[in-house]
Structure 1
Amino acid sequence: MTWHIFIPDSLLEESKDQKIRTYKIGQIARAASIFGVEHIWIYRAGGKDGKFIKLILEYAETPQYLRRHLFPLRDELRYAGVIPPLRTPHHKLKSKPKVGEIREGVIVKKGRMYADIGLDELAVVEDGKGLKGRHTFRIVSTKPLKVVLAQPEEYWGYKVHLTKKSLAKTLKKARLDVAIATSRKGEDVRRVKLPEFEGNIGFVFGSPRKGVLEILRDFNEDYEFDLILNTIPNQKTQTVRTEEAVLATLAVFNFIRRD
C-alpha cells in the first residue's frame, strides 16, 4: 500500500508571517513522515505558494548532512530552523560505517566518483560513472569506504510533486486505486464500512477557506471519489487547519493499514 496526500497551493492563504508559514508546512512534513506517506502532491487551487511549499517540504525530507549541498542559502529558508526534525530511517546520524548500511548521499566529485554520505570521509562510488546529485547508496567496504547504488528496504521519505494542475487533473495524473476526499460535510468515518485498501491510496485536503468539493466547483470540475469522509466528527472548533486535518486523517487510517 502506498499513501499519497494532496494539498492545495493555497495552503498558506491565511498566514502572512514567514516563520508561521514555514512551521505549518513543517507540520505536514512531520505528519507525512510519521505515517509513511510516500507522495505529497501540491495541486492548483488559486494560491501563489506552490513553489515555496514544495521547497520547504523537500528541505524537511532531505537528511541534514546533505542540505548544504542541495540547498544554497536563500531567503525562503530563513526560518528553516522551526521545521521539526523528521527522524525517518534515512535521516542518519553520524556513526562508524558498517558494511550493508544504506545511506543517502550526494555526488561531490567527478572523475573517480565520490559521495558525501554523512560520515567523516567521502565514499568512493563504484560504477558511478555519469551520476549526479542525490542517490541512495549501500556501503560495501569500510577500508576504504566504498558504496554502490541501492534500493531502500524500509520507509525512505516522501517525494513532492508540484503539478501546477487543477485538483481533478492532478488526481488523474496520480493514477490512484482509491481516492478519499476529506470534508466536514462527508460521511462520518465511524459509520462507514471501509473496504480493504490496496495499491495507491490518496487522501485529498482542502484549503483554510475552501473545502475539496468547493475547490472542484471553482474550476468547473467533477471527480468521482471513492469516499468523501469527515475524519474529525464532532469537532469543537469552527475550523480545522489543513495540517491538523492531515495528521488526524492519517491517524485514523493508520489503524486499518495491513501492509
Structure 2
Amino acid sequence: MGSRRSQGKGAICKDRLDLLVQIERRRGLHMNSIRRDYKLAIALPSSLVSEIPHLREQTSVIGRIARIAVIHRIDDIYIYRDFPDESKLIRLILTYIETPQYLRKNLFGIREELRYVGILPPLRTPHHPSERRSSRLEAGEFREGVVLSENYGEYLVDIGIKTLVKVTGRGPSIGGRTTVLITSIRPMLMGKFAKRGDVKYYWGYGVHLSRNGLGKLASSNSFDLKFATSRLGSPFRDIESKFRARLTDAKSVLVAFGSHKEGIQEILGRKGLEIGEVFDFTANVVPDQGSVTVRTEEAMSATLALLGMLR
C-alpha cells in the first residue's frame, strides 16, 4: 500500500512539475518575443523562386523565408511585382506556414501547391501553441481561431482545442480567421475579438501583394524609413551612424531586397526610377562577399540580424 501511495504522490508531483515547466516555457517564449516598438516590413520580388524548377525546392526556399521572418519578428511581408511572377504561390505558402497548424485544414483544405509543405520546419512562434486542451488555457491568453458559426452577434470560434469558444462582438464572416482574447474559462469558455496589435508579444506576419511594383510601394506614405539592400551600395558601416539616428525615431520601416538576377537599381530602372529617389538609404550589408552571388534569403538573414542590433 505504501508503495502505491508513494507512486501516486510521485505521479501527481510529476504532473504538476510538467505543467509548471510548460507554463514557464510559454512565458519565457513570450518574454523573448516582445513586440518591438516600431513596425518592420520587408519587400520581396515575385520572381523569388522563378529560377527553381521544382515545387519541392520552391516550397523549401519560401519556408526558409518564413523562418527568417519570424526569427527577426517581421510584421509584414510585401511581395512586389517582378517577372516571372510567382506571387500567388509565394503568398499562399507564406500564409499557410504562418497559420497555426490547427487552423490549416479549415482555411486551406487540400491544394496541389501545398503538396510539399510537410517538409518545412514549424515556426514555433507564440501564436502556434502545441497545447490542445482547454484545461491549460488561462484567462487573458490570446489564441488564433476560425469562425465556425454566428447567431445574432454570438460566434463560435475554433481555437484549436476540443471546446469551441463563445465570442461576442463584431467578428469576421464565417470561415474567417481571427484573434481571440480569452476572457473566461469557467463556467463557460468565452472570449472577445482582438487585433494583432493588442498582443504585446510577436504574433506573426501579414502577407501582401503589391501589384504596382516596388517603386509605388516604397514611395507610399506607409513607411517612415526605407532601406534598400544592394551590392552596388556603400558598405553598411559607412552609413550606420546616420541610419541609426533615423531608426531611433521611425515608427514604420521597410527593408527591400532584389531578385536572383537583378538588383533593386535594375528593377527600379525599368520604371525610369533611381534608387536614391525612392529609398532613404542604400547599402551593401555583405561587402567583400566570398560568393559571386548572395541569394535573397541569405541577404535577409544578414540584413535583419544587423538591424536587430541597432535598436
Q: Determine if the TM-score, normalized by the shorter chain, exceeds 0.5.
A: yes
Question: 1:108 — aligned with what?
Answer: 148
Question: 1:36 — aligned with what?
Answer: 73
Under a length normalisation based on structure 1, what TM-score does the superposition of the two structures give?
0.94
Moved more, 123-132 or 207-216: 123-132
Residue type of the alignment partner of 1:105? G
8 A Cα contact 1:166 1:219, kept in partner: no
Q: CA deviation at 1:77?
A: 0.3
8 A Cα contact 1:13 1:208, kept in partner: no
Moved more, 116-125 or 173-182: 173-182
Percent identical among aligned pairs is 40
**Residues 73-124 of structure 1: CA distance to partner in whole angstroms, max 9, x if unpaired?**
1100001112221111111122422111111111012324210111121111
Moved more, 133-142 or 110-119: 110-119
Q: After the TM superposition, which residues 2-13 of structure 1 pair with which residues of structure 2 at under 5 Å, given as runs?
A: 2-13=39-50
Under a length normalisation based on structure 2, what TM-score does the superposition of the two structures give?
0.79
Q: How many residues align?
A: 257
Q: Distance in 1 between matches of 2:172 and 2:57?
A: 41
Residue type of the alignment partner of 1:134? R
Alpha carbon RMSD of aligned pairs, Å?
Answer: 1.5
Residue type of the alignment partner of 2:244? P
Q: Does 1:209 align with 2:261?
A: yes
Q: Distance in 1 between matches of 2:86 and 2:200?
A: 34
Question: 1:83 — aligned with what?
Answer: 120
Residue type of the alignment partner of 1:146? M
Unpaired runs of 5+ in structure 1?
none
Residue type of the alignment partner of 1:233? P
8 A Cα contact 1:206 1:215, kept in partner: yes
Question: 2:168 — aligned with what?
Answer: 126
Question: 2:191 — aligned with what?
Answer: 147
Q: Does 1:246 align with 2:300?
A: yes
Question: 2:13 — aligned with what?
Answer: none
Q: Does 1:68 align with 2:105?
A: yes
Q: CA deviation at 1:138?
A: 1.1
Question: 1:117 — aligned with what?
Answer: 159
Unpaired runs of 5+ in structure 2?
1-37
8 A Cα contact 1:97 1:119, kept in partner: no
Q: After the TM superposition, which residues 211-250 of structure 1 pair with which residues of structure 2 at under 5 Å, given as runs?
A: 211-222=263-274, 223-250=277-304
Q: CA deviation at 1:234?
A: 1.8
**Residues 134-169 of structure 1: CA distance to partner in whole angstroms, max 9, x if unpaired?**
111111121321111123221111111112111101
Greater relative contact order structure (CA < 8 Å, 6+ sep) = 1
Q: After the TM superposition, which residues 178-193 of structure 1 pair with which residues of structure 2 at under 5 Å, given as runs?
A: 178-192=225-239, 193=241
